[in-house]
């Protein structure tokens, strides 16, 4: 039985197919033999029938000769027809002789019929010669008497051998058909029996594999598969065993991975909630700061309009304050450095603290410039008083500049208060912005140096003209700084809003991951592994 199991299923099926083919070929050969026999029998019977027809045609032509033989043309015509029928009949007798010998017919009867036909022909030929010599009615009757009865004997002999041959071939055909039926039955039964044995072996192995597959489908990976031999089913069973082992390993790895992933997702969810709360607080602070900067910008716009009026009156002394202008250009360069840092801070929430520090430094610079503007306006008032009537216009402008400088100080104090609120909200991010603070301090030092140069110019340049030019330049610089601050705060506000939106989406994604991780863990619990003992 073990040797039978080791035979491949394909080999068994091929062997079974070969047996079926051999049986079908044998059955076909037997059928061809039977068909050939039937064909020869029918051909022989047809040939005998045709000979009978030829004999009848000969008799008919002979009657026509007797009736119309007086006409030589008619005589020759009928005589030619008789000769033609005689030749055809001779050929058919030869064919019948071959089939008689092949199929075991009664040759005695065949030869007797052939002899009777030849006797009839001889009599007809003799009567034709006699008719040709004496052509009168009395001779006609005598010739008719000579051949009368010969045709009947020939026809009776032919019909008898046809009936006997049919009877014999019917018996032989019945025997051959019965033999073919018996052989077919034996072949069909044998084939069905062999096919049943092969199919039973295949279905037995498939049922075993099906039961194991059902258990695996239910999640039980502990089932072992028996050895099904060295055939296709055996190879399939071994492959199924390896698949179950690999699936068990994969399920164990998936369990460990799912646990780790679920823990990581929980941590990520907590971090995302904290980040969302922090971003909301920072967004509120940035909105307040942006509003305050907008107010400062409007105030400085009014200040710039006033000091431009003063600058227009002092253009003729521009050459006296060239050094002050160059120093203020340096201040512009320092402020541009601060502006570049502000743009970098806009790309990250961690840079928000650096922006607030820069804004604080700028407001302090603005406050210092406002104080200087007050001093300059005071000096301008003194100079205007000295000038008498000619300096009254300068005195009015100096007074307005002083008022605007005081408003600037009040606005910068409000900004500093709001910046204090922002710093409280982002004090955790301040530690990461030290490098930016150094850049701001550098700019502040440069601004202080410019302020010192500007003070030294105030001592050198005596006159209202120089003071007014410095005030125009300072206010313009302040306006530029405020524009930069407003632009930076707008970018920071956009970044905060985008960050808040991204944080909200991250919360949704982490929630989805957490849900999927739980589903995956529930699916893995379905499978029963060897180390779980059914639990």
223 phi and psi, to 5 degrees?
-70, 135
pLDDT at 63: 74
Provide the pLDDT for residue 521.
64
Closest CA to 307 of 471, 531, 519, 111: 471
CA-to-CA distance for 257 and 255, rounded, in angstroms?
5
Task: State mean pLDDT over 505-513.
Answer: 69
Among 29-43, 143-157, 416-430, 450-464, name the one with the lowest average pLDDT. Answer: 450-464
Say how far residue 101 (Cα) sits from the centre of its chain: 76
What's the average model confidence in pLDDT over 471-492?
70
Q: Which residues contact 104 (CB under 8 A, 6 or more apart)?
A: 168
For residues 284-308, give the mean pLDDT.
68
Q: What band does 480 get if pLDDT is binned at 50, 70 and 90?
A: confident
Percent of the chain with pLDDT over 90: 0
Instruction: Give yes or no for residue 1 having a pLDDT over 50.
Output: no
pLDDT at 532: 46
Span 442-465, average pLDDT: 59
345 vs 97: CA distance, rounded Å: 122
Report the pLDDT value the prediction gives residue 397, as an integer from 0 to 100: 76
pLDDT digits (tens, 9 = 90+) for 181-220: 887 788 788 778 877 776 776 676 666 667 766 766 666 6
Q: pLDDT category, 294, cuts 50, 70, 90?
A: confident
pLDDT beyond 50 at 109: yes
Distance from the Cα of residue 248 to its chain's centroid: 29
What is the rounded average pLDDT of the residues 60-78? Answer: 73
Return the structure tokens found at 525: 């619990």
Whole-number Å distance between alpha carbons of 188 and 183:
9
Contacts of 4 (CB under 8 A, 6+ apart): 201
Task: Collect contacts of 183-192 with beta carbons under 8 A, ≥24 apart.
Answer: 183/26, 183/27, 183/30, 184/27, 187/23, 187/26, 187/27, 190/19, 190/23, 191/16, 191/19, 191/20, 191/23
Least confident stretch, 75-84, 221-230, 311-320: 311-320
Work out the pLDDT band at 535, boundaries 50, 70, 90: very low
Distance, in Å, from the CA atom of 82 to the CA atom of 80, rounded to the nearest integer, reads 5
Q: Which of 26-30, 124-128, 194-198, 316-320 has the lowest mean pLDDT?
A: 316-320
User: In the block, which residue shows the tokens 């039978």?
Assistant: 4
Return the pLDDT at 452.
63
Residue among 409, 420, 451 nearest 296 (CA): 409
CA atoms within 13 A on the CB side of 90: 9
What is the spatial distance between Cα 121 and Cα 53, in angstroms, rounded to a whole number? 15
Average pLDDT, the chain: 69
Question: Taking residues 168-178, what's their average pLDDT?
Answer: 72
pLDDT at position 429: 57
DSSP-derived secondary structure for 303-365: HHHHHHHHHHHTGGGGGGGHHHHHHHHHHHHHHHHHHHHHHHHTT-GGGHHHHHHHHHHHHHH
Pick from 75, 90, 83: nearest CA to 57: 83
Range with the lowest mean pLDDT among 214-218, 379-383, 432-436, 481-485?
432-436
- Determine the Cα–Cα distance for residues 403 and 412; give it in Å rounded to an integer: 14
Q: Which tokens go with 256? A: 């460990």
The mean pLDDT of 113-142, rounded to a whole number, is 69
Q: Is the pLDDT of residue 327 over 50?
A: yes
Query: How many helices (H) and strands (E) in the chain?
Result: 13, 0
**What is residue 134's predicted lDDT score, i.e. its pLDDT?**
62
Give the span between the Cα atoms of 167 and 171, in whole angstroms. 6
For the ranges 6-15, 301-310, 318-327, the lowest mean pLDDT is seen at 318-327
Q: Are the C-beta atoms of residues 37 and 96 closer than 8 Å to each other? A: no
Query: CA–CA separation, 21 vs 328, rounded Å?
Result: 111
Of the spans 128-142, 180-194, 324-338, which averages the highest pLDDT? 180-194
Best mean pLDDT range from 263-267, 354-358, 399-403: 399-403
**Least confident residue range of 88-92, 146-150, 190-194:** 146-150
- 345 or 456: whose pLDDT is higher? 456
The mean pLDDT value for 139-164 works out to 68
Give bridge partners of residue 220 from the DSSP assignment. 528
What's the rounded mean pLDDT across residues 502-506?
Answer: 71
Which residue, among 400, 409, 402, has the nearest Cα to 309 in the 3D structure? 400
Quick one: pLDDT at residue 229? 61
Strand partners, 528: 220
């Amino acid at each position: 039985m073990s040797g039978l199991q080791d035979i491949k299923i394909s080999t068994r099926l091929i062997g079974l197919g070969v047996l079926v083919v051999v049986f079908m070929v044998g059955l076909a050969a037997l059928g061809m033999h039977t068909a050939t026999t039937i064909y020869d029998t029918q051909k022989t019977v047809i040939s005998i029938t045709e000979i009978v027809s030829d004999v009848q045609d000969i008799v008919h032509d002979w009657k026509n000769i007797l009736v119309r033989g007086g006409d030589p043309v008619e005589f020759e015509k009928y005589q030619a027809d008789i000769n033609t029928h005689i030749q055809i009949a001779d050929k058919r007798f030869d064919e019948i002789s071959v089939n008689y010998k092949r199929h075991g017919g009664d040759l005695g009867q065949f030869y007797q019929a052939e002899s009777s036909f030849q006797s009839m022909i001889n009599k007809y030929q003799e009567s034709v010669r006699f008719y040709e010599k004496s052509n009168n009615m009395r001779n006609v009757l005598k010739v008719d008497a000579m051949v009368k009865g010969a045709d009947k004997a020939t026809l009776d002999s032919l019909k008898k051998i046809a009936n006997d041959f049919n009877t014999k071939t019917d018996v032989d055909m019945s025997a051959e058909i019965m033999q073919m039926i018996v052989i077919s039955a034996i072949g069909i039964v044998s084939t069905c029996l062999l096919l049943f044995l092969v199919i039973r072996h295949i279905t037995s192995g498939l049922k075993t594999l099906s039961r194991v597959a059902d258990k695996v489908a239910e999640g039980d990976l502990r089932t072992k598969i028996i050895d099904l031999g060295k055939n296709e089913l055996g190879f399939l069973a071994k492959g199924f065993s390896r698949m179950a082992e690999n699936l068990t390993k994969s399920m164990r790895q998936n369990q460990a991975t799912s646990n780790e992933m679920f823990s990581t997702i929980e941590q990520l969810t907590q971090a995302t909630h904290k980040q969302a709360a922090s971003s909301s607080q920072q967004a509120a602070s940035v909105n307040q700061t942006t509003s305050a900067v907008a107010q400062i910008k409007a105030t400085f716009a009014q200040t710039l309009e006033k000091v431009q009026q003063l600058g227009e009156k002092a253009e003729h002394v521009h050459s006296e304050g060239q050094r002050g202008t160059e120093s203020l250009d340096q201040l512009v360069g320092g402020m541009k450095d601060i502006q570049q840092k502000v743009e970098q801070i806009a790309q990250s929430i961690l840079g928000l603290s650096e922006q607030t520090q820069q804004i604080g430094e700028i407001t302090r610079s603005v406050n210092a410039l406002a104080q200087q503007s007050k001093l300059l306006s005071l000096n301008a008032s003194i100079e205007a008083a000295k000038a008498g009537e000619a300096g009254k216009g300068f005195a009015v402008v100096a007074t307005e500049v002083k008022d605007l400088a005081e408003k600037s100080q009040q606005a910068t104090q409000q900004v500093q208060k709001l910046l204090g609120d922002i710093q409280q909200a982002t004090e955790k991010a301040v530690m990461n912005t030290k490098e930016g603070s150094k850049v701001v301090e550098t700019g502040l030092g440069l601004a202080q140096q410019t302020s010192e140069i500007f003070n030294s110019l105030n001592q050198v340049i005596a006159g209202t003209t120089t003071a007014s030019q410095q005030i125009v330049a300072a206010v313009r610089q302040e306006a530029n700084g405020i524009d930069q601050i407003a632009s930076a705060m707008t970018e920071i506000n956009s970044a905060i809003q985008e960050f808040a939106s991204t944080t909200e989406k991250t919360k949704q994604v982490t929630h989805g991951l957490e849900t999927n991780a739980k589903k995956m863990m529930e699916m893995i619990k379905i499978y029963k592994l060897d180390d779980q003992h059914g639990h």
